[in-house]
Amino acid sequence: MAMRMSSLFLRTLREDPADAEVPSHRLLVRAGYIRRVSPGIYTWLPLGLKVLRRVETIVREEMDAMGAQELLFPALLPKEPYEATGRWTEYGDNIFRLQDRKKNDYLLGPTHEELFTLAVKDLFSSYKDLPLSIYQIQTKYRDEARPRAGLLRGREFVMKDSYSFDIDDEGLEKAYQQHRDAYIKIFDRLGFHYVIVEAMAGAMGGSKSEEFLATAENGEDTYVRCDACGFAANVEAVRVPAPEAVTVDGLPAAHVEDTPDTPTIETLVAAANSNHPRADGRAWTAADTLKNVLVMLTHPDGTREPLAIGVPGDREVDEKRLTAQIEPATFTPFEEKDFAQHPTLAKGYIGPGVLGADNASGIRYLLDPRIVAGTSWITGADEPGKHVFDLVAGRDFTGDGTIEAADVRAGDACPSCEGPLQTARGIEMGHIFQLGRKYAEALDLQVLDQNGKLRTVTMGSYGVGVSRAVACIAEGNHDEFGLVWPRGITPADVHIVATGKDDDVFTYAEELTRELEANGVEVLFDDRKSVSPGVKFKDAELIGVPTIVVVGRGLADGEIEIKDRRSGERRNVPTGSAVAEVLAEIGG
């Protein structure tokens, strides 16, 4: 049945919603696709639901084509399986928890590894049952710290999640590749410009992992790519190529110098150059200094732990890279009260002298991989107004380990070929993981192998952000007037606009609607009689159906107008060939 604007459950808005930060959010609300219920929680109106269903259909078709089987788990889940894997605690504030009338704990599923693992354990027992890939398209719940940008980061959202089960690593690799290929087909059909980047396995605790990022200037994810060798990775997953350790033989001894009023790297470098110039005539730069950044970790069980991170002074600690490294813990910057609790720390002059589990502060100290044995640094001497020069890693200090937390920048060396990296931003649309045996072990999923011995199954987990895809497509397909849907995603194939007061116009537009529908075309018909043509045209542009047919004054001369929403091109066609012309236009 055609959707008729006279009765459609829709109100378009002339004004942008006050809370909208990005075009997709603004336009999806204004054009009547979604309505906000609460932060990060949205209602799908009829037009929006059509688009969501179209995206779901594309995802479903490609998952079915690769041989995955669809099923559906509940969203309301008991605590126990998540306790068995540790995620009941690890998820911390990020999951919605609730209790039933008997005070039993439940959660709203943020992702379903546990349930899929248990279902396979429940039904299968032999290697002959494998390989298996199963999936669902389902509503997920995450109490995101910062729900934003409408559907892009919701607290309730639709995800396609699939899971593969194999007897050995070879099988897992194959399932992973099949999913990767299916995802390429899905994202091609959705019309995305995207990149496939190496990713952090993160809280899922797996090994190999890649993300599909839709390229977008305002995306939340930053990735790097190397045009020389094709390497691409989410910045979270970039491993800095560590220089070779060098010998400490013959390096000058460390010496403490007065450097009053130099609490920042900038002031320190200036003071070092004027008061303590280098013997070789080269100027000191920020890269010669070692900056020690203190953060306070909060572990999932609520315990707090200070952490010191040493990075070259020309780098910052990158929030996302650090977050990815310390997950499931979270961090906050060190505050005055934290310093007060650690009197060995001289703020602005903190050095390796007091840092480390075995030193005065007892604070765990992790170093950037560039700080290899034999490198010399200017760094804090742990007394206000003093720095130590020629402090050599491996000779004068060591950390408790290394950490990939320093920012990654355009021009940095590619980890695989040393060529210069480029940086860009994107929106994470899909994520594929080789989970390995973590969940199968925690939940004891074993099957009999060829020799009749019990073997732990190996798993993969694969997600597509279905509701996020709707926003992401809108993000990449709009102009100043409104949305411009790609063919495969649009809520209707054609938007027929009847203008004026003439009954003939409305009668003909009705007829055209019926005929197109008989040909399998989905029609949105603006049959409103008391609305001006200007308002109708504005609505049509805002709603963004890619083909607009105007039935109006031209009808008297036997013509209608077909307009391409994207190019703005319009042409008149005789009514006699209208159906054929529209079918040709929409590729039907």
Of 112, 431, 468, 528, the one binding Mg ion by CB under 5 A:
431
Q: Count of alpha carbons within 13 Å of 509, Cβ hemisphere only?
A: 32
Q: What residues contact 557, with CB distance under 8 A and at least 6 apart?
A: none
Among ligand ATP, Mg ion, none, partner that 465 touches (CB below 5 to 8 angstroms by kind) = ligand ATP
Give the per-residue contact string, 269-308, with ligand ATP (x = CB under 6 A; - = no): ----------------------------------------
Measured from the CB of residue 199, what is the shortest distance to ligand ATP in angstroms?
8
- Which residue minimizes CB distance to ligand ATP? 465
Choices 165-173, 393-401, 464-472, 556-564; region in contact with ligand ATP by CB under 6 A: 464-472
Specify the residue, 121 or 148, whose C-beta has the smaller distance to ligand ATP: 148
Amino acid symbol at 428? E
Q: What residues contact 68, with CB distance under 8 A and at least 6 apart?
A: 133, 134, 135, 162, 182
Chain centroid to CA 274: how far?
46
Specify the residue, 97 or 453, whose C-beta has the smaller distance to ligand ATP: 97
Give the per-residue contact string, 120-149, with ligand ATP (x = CB under 6 A; - = no): ----------------------x-x-----
Which is nearest to 114 in space by CA: 87, 132, 91, 137?
A: 87
Residues 210 to 249 in contact with Mg ion, rule: CB under 5 A: none
Measured from the CB of residue 304, what is the shortest distance to ligand ATP in angstroms?
24
Measured from the CB of residue 371, what is the shortest distance to ligand ATP in angstroms?
29
Q: What residues contact 42, with CB distance under 8 A and at least 6 apart?
A: 34, 35, 36, 150, 151, 154, 156
Choices 20-28, 153-161, 309-317, 478-486; region in contact with ligand ATP by CB under 6 A: 153-161
Specify the residue, 159 or 542, whose C-beta has the smaller distance to ligand ATP: 159
Which residues is 526 bridged to in the sheet? 497
User: Would you give the end-to-end CA distance of the chain in angstroms?
Assistant: 17
SS3 552: coil
Site for Mg ion (CB under 5 A): how many residues? 1
SS3 558: coil
Phi-psi region of 390 (alpha: psi -120 to 50; beta: other; left: phi over 0): left
Choices 121-129, 268-276, 415-423, 460-468; region in contact with ligand ATP by CB under 6 A: 460-468
Specify the residue, 156 or 428, whose C-beta has the smaller distance to Mg ion: 428
- Rounded Cα gap, residues 157 and 42, in angstroms: 9
- Find the angle CA(390)-CA(393)-CA(396) to the nearest 5 degrees: 70
Of 50, 60, 112, 153, the one binding ligand ATP by CB under 6 A:
153
- Rounded Cα gap, residues 115 and 112, in angstroms: 5
Specify the residue, 193 or 514, whose C-beta has the smaller distance to ligand ATP: 193
Site for ligand ATP (CB under 6 A): how many residues? 15
Of 404, 412, 428, 522, the one binding ligand ATP by CB under 6 A:
428
3-state secondary structure 119-182: HHHHHCCEHHHCCEEEEEEEEEECCCCCCECHHHECCEEEEEEEEEEECCHHHHHHHHHHHHHH
Interaction between residue 48 and ligand ATP (CB under 6 A): no
Kindly state the tokens that stand for 584: 């040709």
Among ligand ATP, Mg ion, none, partner that 112 touches (CB below 5 to 8 angstroms by kind) = none
> What are the residues binding ligand ATP (CB under 6 A)?
111, 142, 144, 153-154, 157, 159, 428-431, 463, 465, 467-468
